[in-house]
Structure 1
Amino acid sequence: MSASTGSTQPNSPTTFYQHALALVHRYPDVPLPRDGEPYPDADRRRNRVWSADRSDDQGARTSRLIDEFFSAPTEHRDIARLYREVVDYDIGIALWPSIAAAIRRADPGQARELGRHLARTSTDQNPTVLGMALLAVVGTEDDISLIQTIGLLSDTFGLLASQALTRLPDATANLIWLADRTAGWGRVYAVCAICELADPAADWWLLRRACDGHHLNGEFAYNVACAAPVHDAIAAPDADEALIDHTGNLLSTLAWCDGMGGTLWEYVHSEQALAHYLSRISALPPNLVRYQSVWALACFLDGRPNVPPPNWATLEPLHTGYWSLLATPTWHSVLTAASDNERSREWATRTLGELRRRQAGGQ
C-alpha cells in the first residue's frame, strides 16, 4: 500500500491467497481437503507467545484498531504495526456489527485498498481475516474472485466470504460456486446465505445439490426446505433422480437434526413431502444411500429417535408404506450386499439386527 508505511511480510513467503490458489489448482471444483489446512502460519501460531488478553469481545478490539488506523493522517498510517497488533489476539471470523460500523466510518476507497492488500499479501491468519472483513463491507465486483478463492479455506474464511458475496452482483451464482467447493462449516455458511437471498434462480441447485451428506447439513436443512419448493418439486410426475435422491437426503436429515436446526416437526409440508417422496423412491432401484434415507424416515414415523410419531391423518398408511418398502426383497438385499466400506457394513449389520427384532415382535 503506497499510502502506508512498513511491510506486512514476515519471513514466510507463502500468503494465504497463494496457499488457496495452489490448492485450487491441485483440487479444482471440489472441496479442499481439510478445508485447506494446515495454513501457512500453522507452525507460527502453534509456537506463538500470545498476549495475556487475547479476547475480541464481539469485535470491540478489532473495531478500535480500524478506527485508530484510519483516524491517523494518511502518511502516518503504519500497516506493519496494524498487522502486528491484529496477529496478537483471537480475531473473530464473523463480521460483527461493531466491525462493520468501524469500516463504514472509514473512507470506502481507502478501506477497500487496505482490505485487498491484507487479503492478498498476509501470511498470517488474523490479518487475512481482517482483509476479508473489510472486503465484506466495501468490496466491489472486482474483488469477487479474491473473496471466493480465500473463501475456499472455508472453515475460517467461509463465513466472511459468504457475507461479502451476498452484497455483490450475481450473489446467487457466486455463492453457489463457493458452496459447490466447500464442505462442513464452510458449506453451512454458503447454503444459509443462498437461502436468505430467497432467489428463485437458486431453486434448481437447492433442490438437487445443497445437502452433501455431511452431518452439518443438519444446520441448514430446514432453511433449504423453507427456501425451495421441495414439496411441489417432489410431487411433480417428471421429478428427476437427482431431485428425488436429494429430497430423501434432505427429509432424512430433518428427521434427526433436532438441536441443530428446524426438523420435520417444524416443516409445514412434511406430511405431503413424505407421501410424494415415498411414491417417487418406490419407482427407483434401491441402493444403500436410498435405503438409509427411507430407513431414517420410517424410524421418524415410528416416533424415533426421541419424539412421538406425528399426529397426521395419513400416519398409518405412510408408516406401513415406508416399512413395507424396506421389507421388499430387492430393498432388503441392499443390506446384505453392503460392502463399500467398514462403516457401511457396520450400519447394515446393525440395521439387519433391528429388522429381525422388529419382525420377531410382529411389527
Structure 2
Amino acid sequence: MLPPPNNFNRPQHPHQTPEVRQAPVIHYTFVLIGLTLLVFVLHKLDEILLPIAFSAVFTLLLLPISRWLELRGLPRVLAIIICLLLVLLLFAGIILGFGSQLTQFRDEIPKLQAKMMEIFNQAQAWAHDRFGYEPMSIAEVKDSTIKSLKKSGTTYLGTTLSTTTDVLSNLAQVLIYIFCFLYYRDHLRQFMFRFVAPDKRTMVLNTVDSIQTVVQAYISGLLKVIVIVSILNAIGLLALGVKFAVFFAIFASVLAVIPYIGIMIGATVPAIITLVETGSPLQALAVIGVFVVVQFLEGNFITPMITGSQVSINPLAAILALILGGALWGTPGMILSIPLTAILKVVFDAYKPLEPFGFLLGDVADGEDNQTSKKEAEAEIRPWYRRLWHMIGK
C-alpha cells in the first residue's frame, strides 16, 4: 500500500509565487502612516513646495498663451518671456491698486478711530443706564491700546520686513520655476511616459490632456468670476457712496470663493466701516444687500455660465480644504486650497480606483451623472432659471 501524498514535500512550480494576503487592518495602518508622513513632509518643506505649487498653477494658466505664441512663429524662449512679463504686469497692477487703496485707508484710520470711540461711549452709556454697567474711561482705553502697540510694534516691524523679503524671494523662484516648467514641458511628459507601458501611453496621454484642459478651464473660469463679481460689487458700492469701494469689492470677490463664510466676511467689514462713517444702520444694511444680490447672481447665473459643470466642488469639501490648507501652509495654503482641490478631483475622476474620492469631493449633481444619460445629466446641472423655463415649456 502506497503512503498518502505529502503536500508539504511536493515541489512547487518554478514560476508559481506564493500569494501573500495582508489583513485589512495592516493595509489601512500603512495607508495612515503614509498619509501622516506625507503631511509632515509637506509642512516641513513648505518653503520649497509653496513656490513650486504656485508655479504649477500659473503654468497651467500660461500654457495656452505660450502655445498660441509659439504657433504664431515665436521661439519658445521668447513666448515664455512674454508670459512671464504678463505675470509681472498682473502683480504690479494688483500691488499698485491695493497699495493706493491701503494708503487712503491708512489716512482715514484716525477719523474712523474717533468715530468708533464715540460709538463705544454711546454703547457704554446705554449699558450703564440699562444694566448698571460701570463704563471704562477713554484714558484707560487709550493707555491699554498704546501699551499693546508699544509692546508689539517692534515685532510687527520685523515681521513686515521679513514678509516683504520672503515675498520678493518667492516671486523670483516662481518666475524661474514657471520658465522651467514651460520650457521643459515636453521633457517632463517623456519622463512621465517612462513609468507607463508602451501600449498604454496613448490612454495616459489622453487622460493627462483632459486633466490639463479641465483644470485650465476651471482656474481661468474662477479668475473670470472673481473679476466680474469685483466689477459688480464696485458698481453697487460706488452707487451707495461707500469709501474704498474698489478695495472692498475686490476683497469680497476673492473671499466669495469660500462658500457661505466668504460672503459673510466680505460684507461685514465694509458694512461696519459704513456704519461708523455715516452712523446710518440703513446704509450699512444697503451695503450688505449689495453683496447678497451679487452673490445670488454669481451662484445662479455667472458661475454656471462661465465654469459650467466641468469641476464642481461641494461647499463642505471647499471649507475643509481651506481649513486644512491654512493649517498646513497658512495664508498661501488657503489661496492654493481651492485650485489644488479641483486638480485632485480631476485626477481622482480619471483614475478608476480613486473615483470614489472624486465623487466625495464633487457636488451632489455629479453623482447622478453616472446613473443618467448625458442629456439628462446636463438637465440636472442647469441653473434653476433654465430648469424653470424648461418645465414651463413642457
Query: Scaled by the length of structure 2, what TM-score is found?
Result: 0.20
Larger Rg: 2
Higher helix residue share: 2
Answer 1 or 2: higher relative contact order, Cα 8 Å, separation at least 6: 2
